Amino acid sequence: MILPVQRWNDLADVPSGFGPSVVTIGNFDGVHRGHVSVLTRMCADARAVGARAVAVTFTPHPLQVHRPDSAPELITGDEDRLELLAETGLDAVLLLPYTLDFARQTPQEFVERYLVDGLRTRTVVVGRDVRFGWQNSGDLSTMVALGERYGFDVEVIEDVTPAPAADPGSAEDQAADPLRRRWSSTWTRELLEAGDVVQAARVLGRPHRVRGTVVHGDARGRELGYPTANLGGDLTGMVPADGVYAGWLRRVRRADGTPVTAQDSDRVLPAAVSIGTNPTFDGQERRVEAYVLDRDDLDLYDEQVVVELVERLRPTLRFDSVDALLERMGEDVQQVRTVLAGAATA
């Protein structure tokens, strides 16, 4: 029997006597294949010794606190990050509010309070580049020394990269192959900025997603025969380059707050997704809009939805007339059908 993942926002939420645990610490933005590989292995190791597998992570991202002007755009919002972390098999996630006061803890204070007293940690799983504590003064050697002091082991995880091809080719071919980079959040952001959601999905291990509440727009799509669900200002997840995409719209929560269950036949729907300012109509606001194929009977207003992006079909274009726009939209919809049929088959 698989138990639900426990989610905590403070040490006070951790049940008394919880543990022993195997713990890893990180931001896990995107929860890409490198993260998943480490977390699933950690979960297996924890179960082998009768311990609980726990991820300690933070909100907001520390760089948004320390360097807000240069902090990276987040690939996933907290809700999706927690959902994706849960899918790796963790027993619990401790999502800590990251503030300047929190950041002022010394490495020893952080380890003693959260890992030793709070989670009864038996093993800490970290990368070689781990940094923690005030001004990132703690590193791998610090963690090892604290482990010796407090009685926990430190397991070092090396960077995870894609498996080499069966025919690696020449050294030049290998250097030019983008899949030889290590899986990382940085790489994912670069791909999304370019609109390459196909390659981003290979790094993430799934289609990239954005999440938001459906709000009222200007109703122009409905007037043109393509009613769209407009994702509102609470949108989370990195919005990729402007363009038209094939994707899926997944309904998550109804307007009354009740969840949409897997048994609902309208839970996952094929969609043509437009990202951009709608230049044909001189739009100024950048929007994410999803047209559910062949459906004009859906009332999605105030529902929370997730849009998964499968493939970018084309960049955003300005058309000389509404007729030219409608002709291209018809072609886009047909291309979306083809792409999604192939994705469903795969």
pTM of the model: 0.89
Q: Is residue 201 part of a domain?
A: no
**Distance in angstroms (rounded) separating the CA atoms of residues 344 and 346:** 5
Rg value, the chain, Cα: 23
Residue 166 has pLDDT above 50, yes or no: no
Both 106 and 233 in a single domain? no
pLDDT-derived band at 179, boundaries 50, 70, 90: low
Q: Is residue 191 part of a domain?
A: no
> What one-character DSSP code corresponds to residue 153?
E
Domain boundary among 124, 141, 157: 157
Q: For a pLDDT cut of 70, what percent of the chain falls above it? A: 89
Residues 6+ apart with CB under 8 A from 275: 239, 240, 241, 242, 243, 244, 245, 286, 287, 288, 289, 316
Q: Is residue 245 part of a domain?
A: yes
Both 239 and 149 in a single domain? no
- 305-333 mean pLDDT: 92
103-117, 210-224, 240-254: which range is least confident on average? Answer: 210-224
**Distance in angstroms (rounded) separating the CA atoms of residues 272 and 249:** 9
- What pLDDT was estimated at residue 317? 87
The residue segments making up the domain with residue 270 are 208-344
CB neighbour burial string for 186-201, b if at least 16 within 10 angstroms, e if fewer? ebbbbbbeebbbebbb
Tokens describing residue 186: 């940085």
CA atoms lying within 13 Å on the CB side of residue 26: 27
Both 151 and 219 in a single domain? no
**Distance in angstroms (rounded) separating the CA atoms of residues 194 and 272:** 19
Domain boundary among 120, 141, 157: 157
Both 152 and 252 in a single domain? no
Residue 285 has pLDDT above 90, yes or no: no
**Distance in angstroms (rounded) separating the CA atoms of residues 157 and 169:** 28
- What pLDDT was estimated at residue 173? 43
Q: Is residue 163 part of a domain?
A: no
Helix residue ranges per DSSP H, the chain = 33-48, 62-66, 78-86, 100-103, 107-110, 140-150, 171-176, 185-193, 197-204, 220-224, 322-345
Both 219 and 153 in a single domain? no
Both 214 and 152 in a single domain? no
pLDDT tens for residues 87-125? 999 999 999 999 999 999 999 999 999 999 999 999 999
- Find, among 305, 295, 191, 198, the residue nearest to 245 by Cα: 198
Quote the number of domains for the chain: 2
Domain boundary among 141, 157, 173: 157
Residue 346 has pLDDT above 70, yes or no: no
Q: Is residue 261 part of a domain?
A: yes
Both 25 and 125 in a single domain? yes
- 274-281 mean pLDDT: 83
Q: Is residue 281 part of a domain?
A: yes
**Distance in angstroms (rounded) separating the CA atoms of residues 60 and 316:** 32
CB-based contact 305:251 (threshold 8 Å): yes
Both 214 and 134 in a single domain? no
Q: Is residue 179 part of a domain?
A: no
Both 228 and 292 in a single domain? yes
Q: What is the CATH number of the domain that holds 258?
A: 2.40.30.30
Q: Is residue 297 part of a domain?
A: yes
Q: What is the CATH number of the domain that holds 81?
A: 3.40.50.620
Whether the ω angle into residue 20 lies within 30 degrees of 0, i.e. cis, is yes
Both 13 and 152 in a single domain? yes
- What pLDDT was estimated at residue 180? 62
Both 219 and 148 in a single domain? no
